[in-house]
Chain A
């Protein structure tokens, strides 16, 4: 687990409010400003953000990097509220509504017209999608 200590003690996430085990649902405010733990260490560094952007195949502009790092940091800090929940022994929810064995018969069906599949292609040739060189 990562550190959530911001020098203000566990549980103080909202300005002016201490949220603890006795105050379910109380004290949470809807202003983003109040949710930023003041003086907290950056939740995500610029380097981490650039790494994640690479994974997501997104190119981030230098001029946006500062703002995006801060915004994402705020959002990820807010996620720290989940650390207050005791989830020992709780299975992760893998289904919204539990279905089992949603199978079909293993029977081939017509694949469809290749022209239809190519109908929105930005570039195509001889029934294939054309892309820039891979290497």
Chain B
């Protein structure tokens, strides 16, 4: 039996019964990665020896009856999540040789759950991008069509899951960076409520927007991983002391009694690819057949979300990235004095998109411009939050497309930053509002490219979006499809 396509819950069943070992599963994935990742570029680093050691420990734990749902499950981890002793680069030359001396809290929790850290995945540099083309090291290709982007910024994690080069993965999402690559790669991706999952050890991009979340082969796995990584963390003062439920209890095969909000603004944008429109319309029909009642809702400030986000996120990033100065860690370029060292280090170490965003952010925060840009954008953010607050009075979840088009070709948008930013139009609002949102596979374009359905919920209502996602998934077969590799 080929073990690579197994989901975490399927693998767990076989591990528990002693029919397979985690070591065997890990070896098979290592073999598949060796065969295929040269073409795909999903991994920046595969942790062969460490992964096998962890797998053997997991096998021992399972034999002794000390196991849980994720024991022995190999994970791909986006390379901006700190893993102690394992190089963590954020796909940037400025951190090319950085080895964190500590684990992110999510990694500590995965280790405690007995999971296997299999490798670190490629991404847009410092999570800035929607195609993974901004990586400082390599391209990642969409497993469904190697000439196309996998999405971004968690493109490596999404590609690894889609290509069965891991069993499950972690990504991060600041403006759509879990959901959009999940949609483009035909897998499940969930951005939790802000504060649901600890950001300790997540290299910060935009501190009021970032969240770590699962990218998995199906919704059940997503619920399992979410449960393992969620919860209050004293080391992250923005983490919320909200109880973590058993998310798998939310999984059921219908959505009877649920009101499903459809935001008319989202469907009126020009440039929405017709296949994306068709997939969405079909998804609405499926949810109605499953007992959902669709209601029209308005999100009137949708058209301002991109502008608000692309002021707030770069502003926060310009502050967060000020620490990369060549002093304490990372790349250092020589300079005749400290200022020269800073200038050379940052100019050589940061890629062009990172520099662009740091410049925008610095400008938006600088004296004379702060009110016009950052303060204004923050006010618009409040209006966007209010839009969702009002919408969730009329419905239980909101659904929408994830991206306006299926995966575009590598190189197609990289020279036009503004067009690239508009890719995020459906996903950014959830980060601005701090609400949870998930992408589930919902169909394919005429060219066979995956298209996802986005499900959004109110704060800490991950259970509702998991209910809708699971019911939809089980009523369709998109999650069973695999790319022709």
| Residue ranges of A at the interface with B (Cβ–Cβ < 8 Å) | 1-2, 24-33, 35, 44, 48-49, 52-53, 55-60, 68, 71-72, 74-76, 78-79, 81-85, 87, 90-97, 99, 102, 104, 116-117, 119-123, 129, 131-135
Contact = CB atoms under 8 A, between A and B. Distances in A.
B270 A75 contact: no
Nearest to B384: A93
28 contacts: A2-B372, A24-B265, A25-B264, A32-B418, A32-B422, A33-B416, A33-B419, A48-B363, A52-B359, A56-B359, A57-B339, A58-B350, A59-B344, A59-B347, A71-B418, A78-B307, A78-B418, A85-B383, A87-B376, A96-B433, A97-B194, A97-B434, A97-B459, A116-B101, A120-B330, A123-B332, A132-B338, A135-B337
9 nearest CB pairs, A to B: A30-B271, A25-B265, A92-B378, A96-B434, A120-B329, A32-B419, A32-B418, A87-B379, A122-B332
Q: Among the interface residues B240, B330, B380, which one has the most CB atoms of the partner chain A within 10 A?
A: B380
Given A30-B419, A95-B208, A68 B356 contact: yes
A102 B208 CA distance: 15
Given A27-B270, A81-B307, A92 B379 contact: yes
A1 B372 CA distance: 6
A123 B447 CA distance: 53
Interface in B103-160: none
Interface of B: 97-99, 101, 193-195, 208-209, 234, 237-238, 240, 264-266, 268-271, 300-304, 306-308, 310-311, 318, 322, 325-332, 334-344, 346-347, 350, 355-356, 358-360, 362-363, 366, 372-373, 375-383, 385, 404, 416-419, 421-423, 425, 431-434, 459
A112 B373 CA distance: 40
Given A57-B339, A71-B417, A90-B382, 5 more contacts: A32-B419, A49-B359, A75-B417, A82-B307, A94-B378
A60 B356 CA distance: 11
Nearest to B321: A56
Nearest to A113: B101
A55 B319 CA distance: 11
B460 to A, nearest CB: 9
Q: Is the interface of A mostly helix, strand, loop or mixed?
A: loop
B interface: dominant SS: helix
Nearest to B298: A24
A15 to B, nearest CB: 12
A122 B376 CA distance: 40
Contacts, number: 201
A116 B84 CA distance: 11
Q: Which of B303, B306, B382 has the most CB of A within 10 A?
A: B303
Contacts of B421: 75
Given A30-B425, A58-B343, A79-B310, A96 B383 contact: no
Contacts of B341: 131-132
Contact of B327 (A71, A83, A129): A129
A29 B372 contact: no
Contact of A119 (B101, B195, B340, B425): B101
Nearest to B382: A93
Contacts of B422: 30, 32
Contacts of B318: 56
A85 B359 contact: no
Contacts of A132: 334-338, 340-341
A135 to B, nearest CB: 7
B363 A76 contact: yes
Contact of A29 (B270, B375, B417): B270
B383 A57 contact: no
A31 B363 contact: no
A51 to B, nearest CB: 8
B380 A87 contact: yes
A122 to B, nearest CB: 4
Contacts of B383: 85, 87, 90
A8 B376 CA distance: 23
Contact of B347 (A58, A102, A119): A58
A84 to B, nearest CB: 8
A92 B301 CA distance: 15
A42 to B, nearest CB: 13
A32 B421 CA distance: 9
B337 A133 contact: yes
Contact of A92 (B327, B335, B350, B375): B375
B327 A44 contact: no
A61 to B, nearest CB: 8
B379 A76 contact: no
A97 B417 contact: no
Contacts of B366: 52, 55
Given A85-B301, A97-B434, A134-B338, A25 B269 contact: yes
Contacts of B417: 32, 71, 74-75
A90 B459 contact: no
